[in-house]
Every structure is written in structure tokens, then in C-alpha cells.
Structure 1
């Protein structure tokens, strides 16, 4: 069965609310232009890049240190020829054909994420629609496989029928006047696509057994309805509500050509280039300011002295760096536990389009979670299919513990279950185990779960002397969304600005 936590994880719902005023922080701070403070930003993910940009607007001189050889953090797009090595020493080389890519991390943008979308608009990053939900995709579990549209619209029909019958019999627990009963009965007939007798006999909304033909006599014929018992027996049935969540809208947005276009544009807009390959080795106080010790890409020791530091590193990474934070801050950082998630992508001819699937997700359960269909190259001869995206606590950790070849085989088998015979069409696999990615060690934090105390958020969001902390993991989004990184970065800068105003 699907428990509430699994459903929330799959829907991408935030697991904690901090009461931060999202709209008030979605817009950049007003330009200051008076401060000449020096600020060092640790991490060139979205939070670090946004913080650097906001600080530059205030007139500060900003140095951004990033351990990876790229910007973006968990916003990471892989393309043919890329190669990467995980914390277990396993190296993969991406074999996708030219023009193909997979967003290994963040991949979609809801329409209400004004901070991210505002920056993308301001930076001139082209965006395109992302089809996040398709009723032609499937629910698949131990009970069988059926189309989302069959589950959705047959269930709607039966529920409408039951309500109609209750109206006729007067068995509602509340009194309805005659005009309300009449209006509700009329709506239910349309809502459930009921027959003239008030019964549900099936609907073309659930799919067509045969489409309209060449003559007026060749009428469309709906698929036969499943029984109510059959539909309700599916443990995965709650996923018909997937795109009802405001975070999982049916139509979303993504930068054209890959999500990494966003952090690349942010980095290009900075006055000073990001220092990549910079591994922080110590975080210290220096008078009223900070001293950051690090090694460059050649392994040579370096040090950066600044008035303040904005720290956006993942907490398990930060916990491993010597520092002189206050004891409560150190304890809060050390206590954080990241969740895990895995993506397995393949290149293939788009066999799913023969099933009328253009974008969206099939929910397959088990260790592999979902199959996510591409939105960027409809009807192209080669596309990238995300054959597994697992993020439930037990499923992701069990899946990630398997050898790479087993992860690939399980993802292929999940596709074969929903699209029989097509597992063999999948080529050039790429596996992203987020818990094994250097400088990340996980995708997000489930506050209030996995032993994580939400009080840690309060401690870190207060800052620690010359250090302030930022990142989506410190927002109400818990690390799940880039919007949280933007909001957290702007909040962190707003805390810094008053203390920097005296620096000339």
C-alpha cells in the first residue's frame, strides 16, 4: 500500500512549513551600491549563485568557491560524452546521441515559482513547456496495469452514479433544498458522463476502443469500463491525484536544452567568475570576519579572507569540514540526515508514443518508482526516457544499495512490464545515485523525518556571527525545489546587508 509519506514524496509536497513570506522574498532586494564589503560564498548551486548576484547588487565584492568543475549543484544536466565518478569510485560515461540530455537533478518548474521564473526571464533563458502529467500513461502494481484515464474517469463515473442515487433516495446527511438537488444532479450527470438512466456505462474519457472512422457511421467506441471493485483494488490509485498538487501541475516549464541553462546564466551574469575545483578545507573566524581555507583544482592550498560568508553547502558535506562554528551550530549541522533518490535514464526510439503518451509519468511502484516520459523532442527518432525515478525512503535506499548493473536491469524490467517487449529497446543507460554523488551525498532533507529535527532549521537560519547559511534545504521546500534556494538566498542576504552597511 502507499502510505501518506510515500505519496507526499512522490508528489513532491513540502514536508514542513516555516512561515516564510514567499511572495515578499521572490523579488530581488533593492540595489544598495554603498557597501564595499568582501563576501565569500561557499557553493555555486542555485542558492549560492543567487546570493552572489544579490550581494553584487549591494556593491559587495563576492568570491564564489565551488568544489565541482561546474556550477548548479543539484541542478545537473548530463549529455553524451560527459563522465562522472561516484563516492564508491564507479565511473560512468554518458553515451547519449548528440542533442540528447537528461536532467539528473532538478527537472521541472511550477508556474507559481515566481523567484526562479523571474530570474529566468530576467536572464533571458529560453523556456519550453514540460508535460508533467498524461492521462494516457499507466498505473502499474501487483494488481495489474491500467491507464490513468481509465482509473480516473471510470472512478469519477461510479462516484457520480452513487451520488445521483443518494440524491434520488434522499439519503444525504445534510438537507438540500429542491433547487440545489436539481443543480447537483444535473452537474453529476455531466461530471460522471452518466447515461439518461443516471447509471455509469462507460465513457470515452477513459479511452477509445476504436476512434472515429472515415464515414458518419464509423462512430468512436469507448473502452469497456472497469468495475468499481477493480479500480479501488489498485494500491497505486491515489496517484490519479498527482497533478492536483500545485507543485505537480500538469503543464510545467523547463529551460530549453536542459535545466543547467539556468545556473550557467546566473554564473555568467556575475561580475567575478565562479572559482570551480575549489575544495574548502577549513572555515574559520578572522577578527570580525572569516577566513576560508581551500585547495584549488591543482591541489594547491589557498585562503580567502572576507567580512562575511554565505554557506550553501549540503549539511553532511559541511559537517566534514573543520570549522569554529558555535557549538549549537555544529551540533545542528552534524544532526542532519539527507534522503536518497535514484534516476536511471536510457536512450531509445520513442515506442511510448505508439501508446499515445507524450510526456507525463507512469506510476510503477516498487523500487523503481515511476517512468518519466520526455517532453522536449516529440516524434524525434531518438529520445531519453527516465525509466526509474525512485524517491521513497525505503525504495531509494534499497535500490541504491544494489550494484549498478542490477539497477539498470530493474529499470529495464519496469519498462518491460508497462510496455511489453520494449525493455530491449533501451540503450546507453545512465544511473544517478544521489546519495553517492560527491559534494552532494543526497538530494534533499525530510525535516521531521529520518531523525531530522525541524529545530535545526531555526538554529541555522539564525546564522552564526559572520556566517549565514542558505539553501533550499533551509526553506519550506526542504530541498525539493529551486524556488526554496532562491527564497533562502535572498533571506540570507537580507540578514547580511545591515551588518555590511558600515564597510567602506
Structure 2
């Protein structure tokens, strides 16, 4: 059966990744480039002292208070923790980590080391957050999100011995290019492809896969060398190509396609000294606007305003209920927390709160000497494995220093809506691809020590002999962090009608947060959601005259 050019290219994408199909389709003018649809620009309307109470001091709440304050609104932020930022949390020496089950950890890193337990990257496409960093004086540095020197490991590839990412990427391209070039040369596609198209595609595949003149893949210098170039008589010898069957069995495609995701493409950034430099910069401008240790308990609305009852905690033995009244309320807390409140929400909102699901992502951080730099020439980036802990993330900060903070695992470990991590694992067999399945396998481990052991094992697989060098671990499980109860709204929960409801006011309550955007899990989504609410409030008071 013949194939049209478009069908051929779509199959090329299925075989070789959508990166290869993208380039081919662009070269033939077959791929339409969608126009970006921008959010409505922020419009500040003079509030003339209109009162707004903002629930939650994460990025959405801070942005709302900051911008409304510029416009003459009288804002109060109620934040249950004793710090700003919400999920933007940088852990340092002495930081106490407490789970909802009472598990406690104390960070013992050396001074100046930090661990971004929540967001750790700022994409170059997230102009709103980058703009706030500039406006607030938050210094940034490059975050190296991808490195061809990082490793990939599967028990089904290369006898389980890790290989450099460049080998997996380029050997896959070579094998796929050879396969497609043979299809074209044999004339299987001639009926629906012109001679010019055939030659252009063959030349592209020759270059894309580094094929020899016979259109065969016999290895490539792009995959690195068994004997690298030097200054003696020995000629460099490229690595032998990895077998395509092993590459397919290894199923390491997430790592090979990571730079195809717009949010993960270079150049990425991070604040110097920790991601929490951003919320603390907002907080420094807001001064007395934020009330820390303020746990919201009750919300009531009337035709003229809202009344919030919250518990103010100044210490372990000092707590008192307080009341605050305002004209409007911006609710910027995770919905997993919002649903626990005594609030007179509409039936539509209450229905969403009853059914919404959040994922629980985990991270494990270790302090270690920088063996990955000294022995493997890895400076930032991420190694990928097919293990329970399937990711090791190398620090971009303070490269060449003696020690650094290594992330030994980051994934979704269970779905809070499930009764256990084990039930998430059973469900994942039908619903999720291997990265999530690996995370659920990790989540089903029986205790903290077993999880730390799994993390150490993955580092040891990548860097033999160095598992013993890992020290001072910190484990974060966002489903067990008070006032979060999840990392982000579940990617499996895709209810556009519910999103539209959350983006509309519930009488005098407006909802903000990345969960009310299409940029879930990113600070950009939180900031833009705050802008949307500010515009809605401005339009409302203007229409009221």
C-alpha cells in the first residue's frame, strides 16, 4: 500500500521521534506553524482602597498582592506557613521538613548549599516570571537542563552499563535514517512522492543520521569515541553503534526528546542562591501585607463582601482565631487544601473540589563531592534510567566547586486520590508510560530508608563506586507536605468545563494558581492566573461605576 508524503512523515515521527518529523515536514512546507495566542495583557485599574484578601502566599498570591498594591488596592495575604512561596521552597541547612504523618527531617547541608524542592527551572519562554526577576532585582544564572555527556541506563541496553546520552540520541537517528532511506530508495513511496522530494529526503536522512554513501549506518563520531582525538599518531575511533533492538527495548525516549518540549529547551535559568529568591523578593516589597502563620478556616460571602476566619499561630502554644473582612477574595491555595475549608462555595465549585485530583511528586537531594564533573565531564543536565529512580539531576550552580547538591530522583510517586502508592502502580499499567510507572514503583517502596536506598542505587549504577559518597539526604513528597497535599493538579485530570468554572468568579471569590491555567506545575501559570484575576476585578469595579 502506498503512502502519501504526510503519512510517511508521520510514520517517521513515530519511529524516530517528532523532532525528525518536524524538520522533514518543515523542509517540505507541510507543517503549519500555529500562531501563539497570548494572554490578555495586564490592565491595572485604580482600586481606590478596595479591599482584597488573598488566600495563599505562593507565586499567584504574591503577584496578585504586588500588582493590586500598585493600583491602589488594600490587600492582605493570609499564608499558613511562616515563609512566602508555597511550593517554591528552597531547603538549606537547618530547614525542618515535616510530613502530614509526623515524619520529620532536618537539612544538614553545608552553608551556601540549597535544594529547590519545588520549581527549579525558569524557561526562556516564561516572560512573565523572567520579567518579575528583572523588576525585583533577582539575579539569574543559566540552568543546564540537558547535557549530551549525561548518562542513560537500562538493564536491556549495553549489558546494563550506562552510555552517554549522545550515543543513544545519535545511534537512534542513524538506525532510523537508514531504515527510512532504504524505503525511499526501493521506490516504495514513488507513486506519491516526486523525484525531487525523494532526493531531498534522502539527503536530509544522510545528514540527519550520518549515513555512509550507501545509506547505511555504521556508527558516527556524534556518538563519541572509543579512542578520542589526540595529538599523537593514533587516529580517533568512534564508538560502535548501539543495536537498534536494544535501543527500542531500553525505552529511554523521554531523555532523548526532552529538548523538544518548549519549556525544557535551552536557554533555561535559575535564581542565584535558590529559587526562593523570587518569593522573598516579592515579600520584601509587600512588607506588612502578608500575615504568616494564618491558617484559613472559614469563608462566608454576602452581597457586599467576604468574611474570612483564620487561625493565627505565633508559636506552638499561641493560636487564636481572627476575622478579616474584604470586598473581594482571591483564593490562591491548592484545591486539595481549599476543599477542607468551611466555605459557602457554589455547588459547581464544590463539585470540582470533591473530584479534583493532584499528583504527588517526590524529590531526593544528596550532598556529595562533584565526581560527575571530575570523572564524567557532566556539568549540569540530567541522566535517565529505567529503574525505580529513573532520573539523576546534576547541579548547574557553583560548577567546579568541591561539593554540590545532586537530585537522586524526581517523579510522580503516587496519586493522592488513590488509596495507596501500590494502587497507583496497578493503575499505571494501563494508563501511564514508563516514567510514571517507575515513579509509582518508587512510591510503593515500604519506607523512607528503602526509598533512599533506591536513590543511592541509581546513582551507583550511573557512577560506580560513588553511591557511598552521597550524604545528608532530604526526601520531599509533596502529597505529604502540609498546606500543599499534592504537587500540581493531575495531568490525568483534564476537565475543560471545570477549568472554565475556576476561571470565573464564584460571586466575590476569584481563583488563581497554576491549576487554573494551561501551564500546570510552572510558576508562569501561577503568575498569569493572577494577571487574569486582576483584569477581571478591574473590569468589575469599572462596570460598577
Q: Same fold (TM over 0.5)?
A: yes
Q: Deviations along 1:440-488, whole A, 9 cap, x unmatched?
A: 0110112553xx744322222212111111110111123x111110111
| 1:482 corresponds to which of 523, 527, 537 | 523
Distance, in Å, in 2 between the alignment partners of 1:495 and 1:116 is 21
SS at match of 1:374: coil
Q: Deviations along 1:389-413, whole A, 9 cap, x unmatched?
A: 1226545455345321111111101
Partner of 1:404: 448
Q: Deviations along 1:174-215, whole A, 9 cap, x unmatched?
A: 544444433433333322222233322211111111222223
TM-score scaled by length of structure 1: 0.90
Distance, in Å, in 1 between the alignment partners of 2:173 and 2:192 is 24
Classify 1:33/1:272 alpha carbon distance in 2 versus 1 (closer, same or farther; 3 Å): farther
C-alpha contact 1:291 1:303 (8 A) present in aligned 2: yes
List gaps (5 residues or longer) in structure 2. Answer: 1-13, 18-35, 415-424, 426-437
Distance, in Å, in 1 between the alignment partners of 2:355 and 2:198 is 56
C-alpha contact 2:298 2:308 (8 A) present in aligned 1: yes
Distance, in Å, in 1 between the alignment partners of 2:74 and 2:287 is 9
C-alpha contact 1:284 1:290 (8 A) present in aligned 2: yes
Distance, in Å, in 1 between the alignment partners of 2:482 and 2:109 is 23
C-alpha contact 1:208 1:222 (8 A) present in aligned 2: yes
Classify 1:99/1:271 alpha carbon distance in 2 versus 1 (closer, same or farther; 3 Å): closer
Q: Which has the higher contact order (CA 8 A, sep 6+)?
A: 1
Distance, in Å, in 2 between the alignment partners of 1:22 and 1:117 is 19
C-alpha contact 2:149 2:166 (8 A) present in aligned 1: yes
Partner of 1:11: none
Distance, in Å, in 2 between the alignment partners of 1:382 and 1:85 is 26
SS at match of 2:359: coil
Distance, in Å, in 1 between the alignment partners of 2:202 and 2:77 is 62
Partner of 1:497: 538
Q: Please say which of residues 327-336 and 119-128 is displaced more in the overlay.
A: 327-336
Partner of 1:259: 275
Q: Deviations along 1:368-388, whole A, 9 cap, x unmatched?
A: 231111111212110000011
| 1:221 Cα deviation after fit | 1.9
Partner of 2:130: 117
Partner of 1:130: 143
| 2:182 corresponds to which of 165, 177, 194 | 165
SS at match of 2:183: helix
| 1:270 corresponds to which of 286, 291, 296 | 286
Q: Deviations along 1:58-96, whole A, 9 cap, x unmatched?
A: 210000110011111111110112112111111111111
List gaps (5 residues or longer) in structure 1. Answer: 8-20
| 1:160 Cα deviation after fit | 2.2
SS at match of 1:496: helix
Distance, in Å, in 2 between the alignment partners of 1:497 and 1:107 is 32
Distance, in Å, in 1 between the alignment partners of 2:178 and 2:443 is 45
Question: Which structure shows the higher helix fraction?
Answer: 2
Distance, in Å, in 2 between the alignment partners of 1:503 and 1:180 is 62
Classify 1:164/1:365 alpha carbon distance in 2 versus 1 (closer, same or farther; 3 Å): closer
The reply to whether residue 385 of structure 1 matches residue 406 of structure 2 is yes
Partner of 2:380: 359
C-alpha contact 1:367 1:390 (8 A) present in aligned 2: no
Distance, in Å, in 2 between the alignment partners of 1:74 and 1:391 is 15
Partner of 1:463: 505
| 1:132 Cα deviation after fit | 0.8
C-alpha contact 1:157 1:194 (8 A) present in aligned 2: yes
C-alpha contact 1:140 1:418 (8 A) present in aligned 2: yes
Distance, in Å, in 2 between the alignment partners of 1:384 and 1:37 is 45
TM-score scaled by length of structure 2: 0.83
The reply to whether residue 376 of structure 1 matches residue 389 of structure 2 is no
Partner of 1:152: 169
Partner of 1:301: 321
Superposition misfits of 4+ residues, deviation over 6 angstroms: none
Distance, in Å, in 2 between the alignment partners of 1:429 and 1:465 is 46
Classify 1:28/1:121 alpha carbon distance in 2 versus 1 (closer, same or farther; 3 Å): farther
C-alpha contact 1:35 1:503 (8 A) present in aligned 2: no
C-alpha contact 1:47 1:489 (8 A) present in aligned 2: yes
C-alpha contact 1:369 1:391 (8 A) present in aligned 2: no
| 1:286 Cα deviation after fit | 4.4
Partner of 2:338: 318
C-alpha contact 2:126 2:524 (8 A) present in aligned 1: yes
Distance, in Å, in 2 between the alignment partners of 1:334 and 1:264 is 33
C-alpha contact 2:413 2:443 (8 A) present in aligned 1: no
| 2:355 corresponds to which of 323, 335, 345 | 335
| 1:492 Cα deviation after fit | 1.2
C-alpha contact 1:42 1:312 (8 A) present in aligned 2: yes
| 1:167 Cα deviation after fit | 3.6
C-alpha contact 2:250 2:386 (8 A) present in aligned 1: no
| 2:116 corresponds to which of 103, 121, 141 | 103
| 1:162 Cα deviation after fit | 2.6
